[in-house]
Structure 1
């Protein structure tokens, strides 16, 4: 696993975007378009055992030595103690918005019941500090850090009890912060959490079954990813119904969900590979978008997964259909898909066998099949526009990682990151001109953080963090200054790419 993830950063290649002669500015984007940057609670806050916070499944996972570099996020960038300095940095850069998540085990340490007053105070302070600096708080309610106590009690996402506990937690968030938070995300990346956690077992709670995963804590790779996804969809719909019925009229905010947006392309010109790429886009994107727009899972999944794919009741279908004011997408990769129809003939099949496609990035890393290509974002947005009724879209993550030999080394020169972001912003602009209803763009990440796949071996931050310093010193990289100039009215300047390597999350 460690070697494969190292190869990911070495082997990815970027397809450059042909450049226009005219420079682009933020004023070319629609009025009200939001530019920001983001992090998530477990990855940035630190203070893992302070002020009443209890463990999440990610704390357990990293403390058992399963992270890429055997590290934990016990301290990470320590935003819990440095949030005021961070907000000042955001203001200096000129961010319109900061995307962050609330840690369920910090706000409600046991997963249900009592709200932790110190956790409540921290998030109130962070939100108030953002608003004082005219920065919009964009809040994710659940960003993978499920309370370990509930995982131990009933196996988390596999139980119907998850929906009720999640809804009560969401209610506490709306009630506590909704007077100031106007942009809510229910769940982050449910379309990959389910695969990594319940099929391959690469991620906590490490559930899988042979031959699809090894060294797991139990599980069934043929059924559990679909069950977990079903629970997340129902939890999302429940939270949206609650927000719309009880809070939205007075708080006047918006609510949506954020999906991982890998784009699948055929590995060859063969028609079978083209069909495999289409299936993978239905499995990867349609798995959640189809229920959200049309009230049921994609027909191709119904045919291929059969009885292992949970059914939606008429009431569940009604609640899911249209249950968003926007949809967020985290986009980094284009994945090349190959047909593997023999896999569909197997007696036991997992998600990728059901799709009859060789398109699993974790398996493809060694062969260098993964790409970061700006045009893939354009294809994703076209797909959403044409197949899913052109929903309002927020690009909630897009960014570039480096993998320095000395991860803690302070380095300001990251022009490759600026060029990467420039290429994607140009594609995003063209997609809007072509009719996409994109409404925001957030760089991943505002700071260097604990990366869920790479620990501290890769860095995405516009602002660097000296992870060896007790005070976790922050500093602006060149990309932060470039982004700041753009946000304050400067140009995206055309020019030839530097030729330096590009990385992905």
Structure 2
């Protein structure tokens, strides 16, 4: 049979189990149904949570610059955010109160190395040492992300940041400092968060910092950039920096500190817009561009063949030694997952030039079949789909050789005008996705942990303060940024500490059932 005829059939046979699959509505699972070494937690990130952007020696990150130049539609910034820099001790007590088993946060590179390298800021080290000690003393496992989108502005100004291979040595220096100063208490390190989003949104569409794109691409009236090449260059340097840092950790620190290290990526599940072979093929092409872009190099040593074919010379090459260094450069995969989408073939666009990363996928994407698909990347929360989330977990197992997976972000944003404290919709989202996690484990997926995004309300990269994802409500109109537990915090506590059945909001009055003392 000709390959052109065989390939669609192979794709259909691969995706059919996922397309036909339904996730059962599980009501009767408890914390004890999960493996003994599984951890439940919640997370934040430095720019989104800390505030204090000009205090104690911290210098600006690219997100400080981006927001102050109006990068967020509502002109909001993370100048104060959740004020975690001043309220972390209070927040660690809240972690204990809600029963977190693990907490994930990131370290601000520009807070500990204000020049990006060289002179260390003692106030920055003091802050993070205090944070680590507070958490550690309460028996909560510490998961740290080294880089969560907030590159020091000084490095971007000096040589283009992630656009230059020079970033690799500076990132290694930053990582070395963090391993040395905090590694004895950190159980898991994530090198870089969402490099696929970083490349796509920061250097193609321009809707994330540093806001680079080029005409006719992009959505943010960028003043500089090249959407056809910069996303690929950026991610290439991120992958090399990741591999170098993993090598550093394994040779210098891991033997004594006994931690784990991995790489994070953003995912969404994709359904074909129709049952046609071209739409099914388009889903796989999107998966290779979105996920294979990051995972294929660290699992297999190189980019997906379809990317190399479509992008040609615009996609950088790895040397033989780099391939060997990349292959296997992880102890776990970090997964950020929120939603699903529908994918329609648009491969005719691949005959046109110029193209950017988004057009290179040759597909249009929609949040539902009722929408007209477009080339834009998927919004964060267009639909709730625990089945797609479970499919994603099982896809990773079958595609990438059963890697250990930590779900490092999964959550549900409620608008400002929604119910601030009685967040029933968030509870149902968490219940369904935790249930889908359990089903994936029962189906043999090596999921090791689940982190709610976010622990408290934070500045959201896509929406500023218009969407609130926290278990704890933060009053951003109050200078003191007071915290109040939402109903979802009570639900999470009851599930984690009381081993309560993970109930649906439709089955009982949660207000009467859930309580923990403050």
The answer to whether TM tops 0.5 is: yes
Once the two structures are superposed, residues 111-132 of structure 1 have per-residue CA deviations (whole angstroms, 9 ceiling, x without a partner) of 1111100000000000000011
Q: Which residue of 1 aligns with 2:244?
A: 238
Between 475-484 and 367-376, the greater mean CA deviation after superposition: 367-376
SS of the residue corresponding to residue 256 of structure 1 reads: strand
Q: Among 37, 45, 65, which residue is 1:40 paired with?
A: 45
1:377-388 equivalences in 2 (<5 Å)? 377-388=389-400
What root-mean-square deviation, in Å, do the aligned CA atoms of Structure 1 and Structure 2 show? 2.0
Q: 1:213 deviation in Å? A: 1.6
Q: Among 368, 387, 408, which residue is 1:375 paired with?
A: 387
Distance 1:363 1:297, change over 3 A: closer
Q: Runs of 5+ in structure 1 lacking a partner?
A: 1-14, 499-505
Q: Is the 8 A contact 1:276 1:338 kept in 2?
A: yes
Distance 1:126 1:340, change over 3 A: same
Q: 1:469 deviation in Å? A: 1.3
Q: Which residue of 1 aligns with 2:89?
A: 84
Q: Which residue of 2 aligns with 1:152?
A: 157
1:247 is the counterpart of 2:247: no
Q: Is the 8 A contact 2:23 2:390 kept in 1?
A: no
Q: Runs of 4 or more off by more than 6 Å in structure 1?
A: 365-369
In structure 2, distance between residues paired with 1:496 and 1:478: 14
In structure 2, distance between residues paired with 1:37 and 1:403: 20
In structure 2, distance between residues paired with 1:412 and 1:199: 37
1:308-319 equivalences in 2 (<5 Å)? 308-319=314-325
In structure 2, distance between residues paired with 1:66 and 1:103: 20
Q: Among 460, 485, 491, which residue is 2:501 paired with?
A: 491
Q: Is the 8 A contact 2:192 2:238 kept in 1?
A: yes
1:139 is the counterpart of 2:151: no
SS of the residue corresponding to residue 440 of structure 1 reads: strand
Distance 1:282 1:443, change over 3 A: same
1:435 is the counterpart of 2:444: yes
Q: Is the 8 A contact 2:363 2:375 kept in 1?
A: no
1:228 is the counterpart of 2:240: no
1:55-70 equivalences in 2 (<5 Å)? 55-70=60-75
Q: Is the 8 A contact 1:17 1:423 kept in 2?
A: no
1:172-211 equivalences in 2 (<5 Å)? 172-211=177-216
1:104 is the counterpart of 2:109: yes
Q: Which residue of 2 aligns with 1:4?
A: none
In structure 1, distance between residues paired with 2:505 and 2:483: 30
Q: Which residue of 1 aligns with 2:29?
A: 24
Once the two structures are superposed, residues 354-393 of structure 1 have per-residue CA deviations (whole angstroms, 9 ceiling, x without a partner) of 2211128785699999433001111111111111001000
Scaled by the length of structure 1, what TM-score is found? 0.92
Once the two structures are superposed, residues 424-462 of structure 1 have per-residue CA deviations (whole angstroms, 9 ceiling, x without a partner) of 011110000000000000000000000000001110010
SS of the residue corresponding to residue 253 of structure 2 reads: helix
In structure 1, distance between residues paired with 2:376 and 2:160: 30
In structure 1, distance between residues paired with 2:472 and 2:379: 32
Distance 1:205 1:90, change over 3 A: same
Distance 1:107 1:360, change over 3 A: farther
Q: 1:45 deviation in Å? A: 0.3
SS of the residue corresponding to residue 491 of structure 1 reads: coil
Q: Which residue of 2 aligns with 1:402?
A: 414
SS of the residue corresponding to residue 268 of structure 1 reads: coil
Q: Which residue of 2 aligns with 1:338?
A: 344
Distance 1:299 1:368, change over 3 A: closer
Distance 1:497 1:115, change over 3 A: farther
In structure 2, distance between residues paired with 1:363 and 1:303: 20
Once the two structures are superposed, residues 160-188 of structure 1 have per-residue CA deviations (whole angstroms, 9 ceiling, x without a partner) of 10111111100110011011112100000
Q: Which residue of 2 aligns with 1:413?
A: 422
Q: Which has the higher contact order (CA 8 A, sep 6+)?
A: 1
Q: Which residue of 2 aligns with 1:286?
A: 292
Q: Which residue of 2 aligns with 1:168?
A: 173
1:450-461 equivalences in 2 (<5 Å)? 450-461=459-470
Q: Among 289, 298, 301, which residue is 1:295 paired with?
A: 301
Q: 1:265 deviation in Å? A: 1.5
Distance 1:23 1:125, change over 3 A: same
Once the two structures are superposed, residues 316-359 of structure 1 have per-residue CA deviations (whole angstroms, 9 ceiling, x without a partner) of 00111000000000000112111112210112111122221112
Q: Aligned residue pairs: how many?
A: 480
Q: Among 482, 488, 491, which residue is 2:491 paired with?
A: 482
In structure 1, distance between residues paired with 2:250 and 2:99: 32
SS of the residue corresponding to residue 331 of structure 1 reads: strand
Distance 1:217 1:343, change over 3 A: same
In structure 2, distance between residues paired with 1:122 and 1:216: 35
In structure 1, distance between residues paired with 2:439 and 2:300: 27
